């Protein structure tokens, strides 16, 4: 009876070498606390920021991929607030001239509209330990993109899928690892309920979710909580909430600053950054094939809809598939099947990433081709996959171990004659129309070939030999 209305604010950590406004390394991982800091990101008096050109370019890539409008100059603003892990007591962000406005992300046949995206710097990290708070400022000043959607999402699953699509997109663009577990993709979710057709209801914002599952669970919880309130005739209070993984519940956080509290004003230490159209054109020309275009291409190649979608939004798999396809050895659908079912299954079982194995797209394509040409059975192909992960060559393995299917019809026909002669009763039954008796003969031929013959071929040869068409 109520419909959920959901809008997301997504923070993506950009994969630049250096921070947004200084030369410190941008990736805080692996360094001891406070190793990656300098006067600029520590906010020391007199230190001056310099915008990171690569970060702007990465931002432009995303803006263009989403079809957002990019202004001809970017302006940075100060967003003032006090927090221990924010050394300058303000964050350099963007306000009225952001990196991009508008655009959309295709999702299940719909378009989820993007309101805006802007560049900003990350804060540091507070570690609360036994009543003390420790600060690690390695992350302070790292480049972030914040992307804000219109309230176009309707279900928790959809919100989660949207984030997964954004993750695939930025990974495809090569601008962010977007790994939630590393804090490189974080989301705030806004949700209200209404009766379908009514104006938007009062929303709450659940802040700082750092897993896809967390996003979905927080939204599910809020839907339950708000539904109960509205059913009882009460109102939803506008609020900023946190989410506790353990209990699966949201809880009130600080009362949120109003926009005026941030006292946004243009950053006086940074002149506007011009975005010449020629630069924009260059960035656009350098965009890789986007996931939704990939999906179309896979479908045009005859790959099933579901598979085309799964592959197009899995950057590592689709890169691998594209190379495997380029050899023209195996059919697209067979490659897709073996990739999505057998290979992914095996990788999951072993907790391995495709890139961490020695399997090459060529070896993979050759394995699938051996199977497609009927030279090995699917059982044999599956059995070889683990060794292919270790860099082995499929043809060499098949040859060395005699795993090839007996595909030589002449040889098989002689075997079939032998088996018929050895099992006259079964043969007679088949001739008299008891087709089921064929299975016994088939089983015997398969045994003689150590299971390497193609059952459909043997069956045909048996039927021919016994005159049962």
Q: Quick one: what does residue 9 bind among ligand ADP, Zn ion, none, with the CB cut-off 5 to 8 Å set by partner type?
A: ligand ADP
Q: With contact defined as beta carbons under 8 Å apart, do 189 and 159 qualify?
A: yes
The answer to whether 452 contacts ligand ADP (rule: CB under 6 A) is: no
With the CA atoms of 236, 237, 241 and 243 taken in that order, what torsion angle do they form, in degrees rounded to the nearest 10?
-20
Q: With contact defined as beta carbons under 8 Å apart, do 216 and 158 qualify?
A: no
The stretch among 36-44, 93-101, 241-249, 259-267 that binds Zn ion (CB under 5 A) is: 36-44
H-helix or E-strand spanning residue 114: strand 110-121
Q: Quick one: what does residue 22 bind among Zn ion, ligand ADP, none, with the CB cut-off 5 to 8 Å set by partner type?
A: Zn ion
Tell which residue, 468, 417, 426, has the closest CA to residue 445: 417
In the bound state with ligand ADP, the residue whose beta carbon lies nearer, of 9 and 322, is 9
Q: Report in angstroms how near the CB of residue 6 gets to ligand ADP at its nearest.
A: 6
The answer to whether 415 contacts Zn ion (rule: CB under 5 A) is: no
The answer to whether 85 contacts ligand ADP (rule: CB under 6 A) is: no
CA–CA separation, 352 and 344 (whole Å):
9
In the bound state with Zn ion, the residue whose beta carbon lies nearer, of 21 and 338, is 21
The answer to whether 48 contacts Zn ion (rule: CB under 5 A) is: no
Q: Report in angstroms how near the CB of residue 79 gets to ligand ADP at its nearest.
A: 12
Tell which residue, 299, 373, 363, has the closest CA to residue 336: 299
The DSSP symbol for 340 reads I
CA–CA separation, 421 and 434 (whole Å):
18
Task: Indicate the residue whose CB is closest to ligand ADP.
Answer: 7
H-helix or E-strand spanning residue 282: helix 277-285
The answer to whether 3 contacts ligand ADP (rule: CB under 6 A) is: no
The answer to whether 38 contacts Zn ion (rule: CB under 5 A) is: yes
Cβ within 8 Å of residue 428, ≥6 positions away: none
Q: Report in angstroms how near the CB of residue 22 gets to Zn ion at its nearest.
A: 3
In the bound state with Zn ion, the residue whose beta carbon lies nearer, of 7 and 49, is 49
Q: With contact defined as beta carbons under 8 Å apart, do 116 and 96 qualify?
A: no
The answer to whether 92 contacts Zn ion (rule: CB under 5 A) is: no
CA–CA separation, 282 and 19 (whole Å):
23
The answer to whether 24 contacts Zn ion (rule: CB under 5 A) is: yes
In the bound state with ligand ADP, the residue whose beta carbon lies nearer, of 94 and 192, is 192
Count of chain residues binding Zn ion (CB under 5 A): 5
Helix count and strand count (H, E) for the chain: 16, 16
Of 151-170, binders to ligand ADP (CB under 6 A) are 151
The answer to whether 41 contacts Zn ion (rule: CB under 5 A) is: yes
In the bound state with Zn ion, the residue whose beta carbon lies nearer, of 24 and 86, is 24
With the CA atoms of 290, 292, 298 and 303 taken in that order, what torsion angle do they form, in degrees rounded to the nearest 10?
150
Q: What angle do CA 267, 269, 275 make, to 5 degrees?
A: 75
Of 177-216, binders to ligand ADP (CB under 6 A) are 190-192, 200-201, 203
Q: Report in angstroms how near the CB of residue 160 gets to ligand ADP at its nearest.
A: 15
The stretch among 81-89, 149-157, 325-333, 411-419 that binds ligand ADP (CB under 6 A) is: 149-157
Rule CB under 6 A: which residues touch ligand ADP? 5-9, 148-151, 190-192, 200-201, 203
Rule CB under 5 A: which residues touch Zn ion? 22, 24, 38, 40-41
């Amino acid at each position: 009876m109520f419909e959920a209305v959901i809008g997301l604010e997504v923070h993506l950590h950009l994969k630049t070498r250096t921070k947004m406004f200084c030369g410190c390394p941008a990736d805080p991982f692996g360094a001891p606390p406070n190793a990656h800091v300098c006067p600029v990101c520590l906010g020391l008096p007199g230190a001056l920021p310099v915008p990171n050109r690569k970060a702007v370019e990465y931002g432009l890539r995303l803006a263009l991929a989403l079809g957002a409008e990019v202004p001809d100059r970017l302006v940075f603003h100060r967003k003032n607030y006090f927090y221990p892990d924010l050394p300058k007591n303000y964050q350099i962000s963007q306000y009225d001239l952001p990196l991009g406005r508008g655009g959309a992300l295709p999702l299940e046949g719909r378009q989820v509209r993007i309101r805006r995206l802007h560049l900003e710097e990350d804060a540091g990290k507070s570690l609360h330990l036994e009543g003390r708070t420790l600060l690690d400022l390695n992350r302070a000043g790292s480049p972030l993109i914040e992307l804000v959607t219109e309230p176009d999402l309707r279900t928790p699953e959809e919100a989660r899928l949207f984030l997964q699509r954004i993750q695939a997109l930025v990974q495809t663009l090569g601008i962010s690892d977007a790994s939630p577990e590393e804090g490189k993709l974080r989301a705030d979710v806004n949700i209200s309920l209404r009766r379908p057709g009514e104006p938007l209801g009062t929303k709450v914002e659940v802040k700082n979710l750092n897993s896809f599952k967390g996003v979905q669970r927080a939204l599910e919880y809020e839907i339950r909580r708000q539904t109960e309130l509205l059913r009882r005739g009460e109102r939803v209070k506008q609020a900023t909430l946190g989410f506790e993984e353990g209990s699966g519940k949201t809880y009130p956080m600080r009362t949120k600053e109003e926009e005026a509290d941030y006292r946004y004003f243009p950053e006086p230490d940074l002149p506007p950054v011009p975005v010449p159209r020629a630069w924009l054109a260059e960035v656009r020309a350098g965009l890789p094939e986007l996931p939704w275009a990939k999906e179309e291409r896979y479908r045009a190649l005859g790959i099933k809809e579901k598979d085309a979608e799964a592959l197009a939004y899995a950057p590592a798999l689709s890169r691998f598939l594209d190379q495997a396809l380029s050899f023209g050895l195996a059919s697209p659908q067979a490659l897709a099947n073996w990739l999505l079912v057998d290979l992914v299954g095996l990788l999951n079982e072993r907790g391995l990433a495709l890139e961490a194995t020695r399997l090459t797209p060529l070896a993979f394509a050759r394995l699938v081709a051996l199977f497609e040409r009927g030279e090995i059975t699917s059982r044999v192909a599956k059995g070889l996959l683990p060794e292919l992960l270790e860099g082995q060559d499929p043809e060499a393995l098949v040859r060395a171990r005699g795993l090839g299917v007996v595909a030589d019809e002449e040889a098989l026909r002689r075997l079939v004659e032998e088996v018929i002669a050895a099992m006259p009763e079964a043969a007679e039954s088949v001739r008299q129309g008891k087709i089921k008796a064929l299975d016994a003969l088939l089983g015997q031929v398969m045994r003689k070939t150590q299971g390497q013959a193609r059952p459909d071929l043997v069956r045909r040869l048996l039927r021919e030999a016994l005159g049962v068409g």
